[in-house]
Amino acid sequence: MSRGPGAGAFVAGRAPGARQKQTINDRLYLLLRRLLAPLRRAPWWLKVTLVYAAARLVSYGIFLGSAWHADDSPWGGRQPGYLTFINRWDAGWYERIFNNGYPQAIPRDPDGAAYANEWAFYPAFPLLVRGLAAITGWGWPAAGAMMATVAGLAAMLMIYLLFRNFAAPANALWGVAFCAFFPVSAILQVPYAESLGLFFLAAALHLLVRGKYWAAMPVVFLLCVSRPAGVPFAAVVALHLALRWRRRHQEPFPARDVIAAVVLTAFSAVMAFAWMLTAWWVTGERNAYTDTETAWRGGGGLVLFKPWFEAGVDLVGPLWGPVLPVLLVVIAALCFNARAARRIGPELLGWSGMYLLYLLAVLHPQSSTFRMLLPMFPLALAAVFLSPARAYRWCVLAMFTLLQIVWVEWLWQWVAITTGQTWPP
């Protein structure tokens, strides 16, 4: 049976006359490639800066949109400006430290229970903001937001260098993009200590991975006066030391490095308790820090792991409630054992696991828990390793952006609930 003259074109997958014809999408794609071509040759730090700037502009727009329909709150009236809108919650506590420092005694109610107070917040961020304010003459809102935003850029630059120990430049840059657009990444431009702590954490992990133990010590000190990360970091240093000792026959581990690694492990363990000891020394109260931390959960003292089981019972009842934390640990273990996760190296994977265990031990689960997950940023590189497909990676960024809108709208607004206050970010 003969075929018509146009049949071959259809068999080849092209309609008659469609050859050499570019669609609008093709032309737009080629135009975009030409516009972005110079960036391919740009230095890595410029690429990271542009990714971070784009992410922060997105967060800025989300904050403005949320502030536009915000109601009255304890921090300002309706439709506050950008700096007023982001200067709430923990930013207010940092502002108190910026202005007045720390109290000499823990404020307590007539029954002796501690009130929420400044000792729950670490000093590095407000002290640096005070220095910036002294130089520029800015007040807390502008100086705090600028310090947080710049520290966030420093964190992304350091995260890229850290990721380059395990990934090619393109994958490391995608890992930075996942961090910069993460659903809670808007906190990196808010007067909180998250961005500063993230920078010191990434720097400390980078120096640890590279075996620069002495250089890591001042960075660990700054990390431990920025955010409460000393306990899991000391654990990951001990893990690194054990792994290097185990591989000493295949990979040289000279005595000077052994000594430096042991000293770093001990120093990290001491710094894990440095702020707690400082609060004790200043106030004269041994439980000053722990009483302050538990004040946000209604007192009762610090009992490891217990709050997660209580939260599980509150969510699904006494039968299945205690199973929820165990299920979380099982899911985390399966994720950490995935091939993509193992590619980020034992130190980064170990940090993520140790930090999660630390949160399970000491954190009272609440809406702020989402923000507390940001130090597990090494898993962003594992997410990049899941697939090289650009469609997957762009979908992740789109999903993160949508979830960021949800996070800001849900937690940054002041909406009274039955307890008389809203959920904090």
Summarised one tens digit per residue, pLDDT across range 117-131 is 999 999 999 999 999
Mean pLDDT of 49-67: 97
- The angle, 0 to 180 degrees and rounded to 10, between the axes of the packed helices 90-100 and 124-136 is 60
How far, in Å, CA of 245 to CA of 259, rounded? 12
Q: Which of 57, 199, 38, 66 is nearest to 124 (CA)?
A: 199
pLDDT band, very low/low/confident/very high, at 11 (cuts 50, 70, 90): very low
**Given a cut of 80, is residue 23 above it in pLDDT?**
no
pLDDT at 10: 41
From the CA atom positions of the chain, what is the Rg in Å?
25
Phi/psi region, residue 115 (left: phi>0; alpha: psi -120 to 50; beta: rest), is beta
Query: Which residues, in sequence order, are bridge partners of residue 73?
Result: 76
Mean pLDDT of 189-203: 98
Query: Which residues, in sequence order, are bridge partners of residue 333?
Result: none
3-state SS class at 114: strand
Q: Which of 161, 177, 200 is nearest to 51 (CA)?
A: 177
Q: What is the percentage of the chain residues whose pLDDT exceeds 70?
A: 91
- pTM value is 0.90
Tell me the H-state helices in 363-389.
369-372, 379-385
pLDDT at 12: 47
pLDDT band, very low/low/confident/very high, at 417 (cuts 50, 70, 90): low
> Buried (b) or exposed (e) across 200-237, using 16+ Cβ within 10 A?
bbbbbbbbbbeeebebbbebbbbbbbbbbbbbbbbbbb
Neighbours of 375 (CB within 10 A): 22
CA angle 273, 278, 283 (to 5 degrees): 135
Q: What is the tens place of the pLDDT at every residue in 280-319?
A: 999 999 999 999 988 887 766 778 888 889 888 888 888 8
Query: Which residues, in sequence order, are bridge partners of residue 114?
Result: 108
3-state SS class at 228: coil
Q: Which of 404, 370, 425, 409 is nearest to 55 (CA)?
A: 404
Q: Are 279 and 291 in contact (CB under 8 A)?
A: no
Q: How many residues does the chain have?
A: 425
User: DSSP labels for 326-337?
Assistant: HHHHHHHHHHHT
Report which DSSP code applies to 269: H
How far, in Å, CA of 203 to CA of 222, rounded? 10
16 vs 167, higher pLDDT? 167
Query: Which residues, in sequence order, are bridge partners of residue 76?
Result: 73
pLDDT band, very low/low/confident/very high, at 400 (cuts 50, 70, 90): very high
Amino acid at 242: A
366 vs 94, higher pLDDT? 94
